[in-house]
Amino acid sequence: MLFMEYLKEVEGKRVHDYVQVKMGKMTRAVCVAGPVIVGAGPSGLAAAACLKQKGIPSLILERADCIASMWQLKTYDRLCLHLPKQFCQLPLMPFPQNFPSYPTKQQFLAYLKAYANHFDIKPTLSKTVVSADYDHRCSCWRVKTEGLKKEETEYVCEWLIVATGENAEEFVPQIEGMDEFEGPILHTSSYKSGNMFCGKNVLVVGCGNSGMEVCLDLSNHNARPSLVVRDTVHILPQQMFGKSTFGLAMCLLKWFPIRVVDKFLLLMSHLILGNTAQYGLHRPKIGPLELKNLYGKTPVLDVGTLAHIKSGKIKVCRGIKQLAQQKVEFVDGKTENFDAIIMATGYRSIVPTWLKGSDMFCEKDGLPRKAFPNGWKGENGLYAVGFTKRGLLGASIDAKRIAEDIEHCWKASKTTQV
Ligand SMILES: Cc1cc2nc3c(=O)[nH]c(=O)nc-3n(C[C@H](O)[C@H](O)[C@H](O)COP(=O)(O)OP(=O)(O)OC[C@H]3O[C@@H](n4cnc5c(N)ncnc54)[C@H](O)[C@@H]3O)c2cc1C
């Protein structure tokens, strides 16, 4: 039975929103006419807006009690967009003209709220999607959620758009002696400002954009930060010739091969920042853009941290061997006392925990690949937005493509209904 027939049958019973009893448990069931979008972050909002513009209704399910929960709840106070605003705006509504090139977190949040208002997007909040399964019998997705009181609801829809982000869950590596360490160990998602660390020795683990910026914030608040740099890292100046490095790179890529652009970026970085290796920040053998393309590893855009490293306000350490009460032992044998540890160790997606079959492998270009995310479009009306490691720009591109794709089926199904 096709989804539309199923919907009619359900409508025949005068229920759009009905209660079913499964294994003694009451589950509310809701039939959704358009796509269900999981996640009300920038990606989910962008997808809903693009659909709305095409006259297609959608329903967003969000586990938090607000939109853009990562930006509202899990980011530090001094955060500004890492990339210039023209690469971060969502489809169909540019940033206000008076916003600076790198909007603050508060400005970005104000923009997202205005975006949701403008497109009249009202996500269903405090609903965590706990499973999503494709029902071949009725050609539809069955998306189960849990509410705050563990109440279950099943949403039935023809299209499922996953917009839960690449940062759904904090990643914290296990380090020997972690339980023994007496000071606080927190993830950057709980870090707000350096003011509570004034005068303290703080170890920041991880040298991505967040780790570098948290170190700068700590240093500005008169803490004594040390940065653990285990791997190689590309640090680029945020601006070159008064233009954003990212924008310049995008422009050059239109004319030159990636390796040529990488060579140019590295030469300029050397001239502007000097040899970062002499401060313990060794560069990978592969250039910054090629590395991002091949492995998704984002280069660090320096917002002033390097100057504090050069002046000795921020120390650079090797990888951690083990922790003790107050002590940290590094792989080079050095030991030092710390009052707190901040893990800037990133996030991961948790889609495989709830999307059935997403941990399986399929073949693409003759190579085995994870079934999810396999680009923006999967099988049986499954879509993914914001999973291509290209930030907000990538999410916007995905959202537009998805809306166009669904529009074809939407129009076709409307024609057959007439
Ligand atoms: C500190 C930081 C700064 C960044 N700066 C930039 C930048 O300047 N430019 C740029 O392009 N990119 C940037 N990024 C990367 C990326 O663009 C952002 O992470 C962006 O928020 C991704 O949007 P999203 O909607 O895909 O995911 P998120 O913002 O993570 O939103 C996903 C939503 O899904 C919800 N969710 C997750 N699981 C479930 C579930 N099972 N059920 C229901 N809801 C669920 C979450 O609660 C969340 O609200 C930054 C990332 C970080 C961490």
pLDDT in tens, the chain (418 residues): 566 565 555 544 434 555 565 555 667 889 999 999 999 999 999 999 999 999 999 999 999 999 999 999 999 999 999 999 999 999 999 999 999 999 999 999 999 999 999 999 999 999 999 999 999 999 999 999 999 999 999 999 999 999 999 999 999 999 999 999 999 999 999 999 999 999 999 999 999 999 999 999 999 999 999 999 999 999 999 999 899 999 999 999 999 999 999 999 999 999 999 999 999 999 999 999 999 999 889 999 999 999 999 999 999 999 999 999 999 999 999 999 999 999 999 999 899 999 997 766 666 666 666 667 778 999 899 999 999 889 999 999 999 999 999 999 888 877 766 5
Closest among 157, 123, 137 to 29, alpha carbons compared? 157
Rounded to two decimals, the pTM is 0.92
- Taking the C-alpha atoms of residue 344 and residue 218, their distance in angstroms, rounded to an integer, is 13
Token code pair at residue 172: 């914290």
Report the separation in Å between the CA atom of 411 and the middle of ligand 1, taken as the mean of its atom positions: 31
Distance 6 CA to ligand 1 centre (A): 34
Q: Which of 37, 112, 164 to mutate to test the pocket of ligand 1 (most atoms within 8 A of CB)?
A: 164
Strand order in the sheet with 382-384: 59-61, 36-38, 160-162, 382-384
Omega of the bond leading into 373 within 30 degrees of 0 (cis): yes
Predicted confidence at residue 268, as pLDDT, reads 97
Q: In this structure, are residues 204 and 226 in contact, taking their beta carbons and an 8 Å threshold?
A: yes
Domains within the chain, CATH numbers bracketed: 2-168+348-417 (3.50.50.60), 170-343 (3.50.50.60)
Q: 78, exposed or middle or buried, with CB in 10 Å at 0-12, 13-18, 19+?
A: middle
* For ligand 1, mutation pick of 121, 216, 392 (most atoms within 8 Å of CB): 392
DSSP symbol at 8: H
Centroid of ligand 1 to alpha carbon of 88 (angstroms)? 12
pLDDT of residue 8: 56
The pLDDT value recorded for residue 373 is 72
Give distance in angstroms: CA of 70 to centre of ligand 1. Answer: 6
In angstroms, the CA 188 to CA 88 distance is 22
107 by DSSP, 3-state: which? helix
What was the pLDDT predicted at 296? 87
Ligand 1, atom 12, lies closest to the CA of: 391
Please tell me the distance between residue 365's alpha carbon and the centre of ligand 1 in angstroms.
29
Please enumerate in sequence order all residues whose Cβ is within 8 A of that of 369, keeping only pairs 6 or more positions apart, or say none.
361, 362, 363
Specify the residue for token string 């609801």.
Answer: 153
Distance CA 401, CA 395 (A): 10
| C-alpha 168 to ligand 1 mean position (Å) | 7
> Cα-flanking dihedrals φ and ψ of residue 172, to 5°?
-125, 115
Q: What is the pLDDT of residue 27?
A: 77
Alpha carbons 417 and 216: distance in angstroms, whole number: 60
Helix axis angle for 42-53 and 105-118, nearest 10°, is: 30
Within 10 Å of residue 264's Cβ, how many Cβ atoms? 16
With contact defined as beta carbons under 8 Å apart, do 347 and 298 qualify? no
Is residue 288 classed exposed, middle or buried when 0-12, 13-18 and 19+ CB atoms within 10 A define those classes? buried
If you take atom 18 of ligand 1, which residue's CA is the nearest one? 391
Q: Which atom of ligand 1 is nearest to the CA of 82?
A: 8
The preferred substitution site among 36, 59, 63 for testing ligand 1, maximizing ligand atoms within 8 Å of CB, is 63
CA 41 – ligand 1 centroid, Å: 6
Of 214, 165, 217, 190, the residue nearest 44 (C-alpha): 165
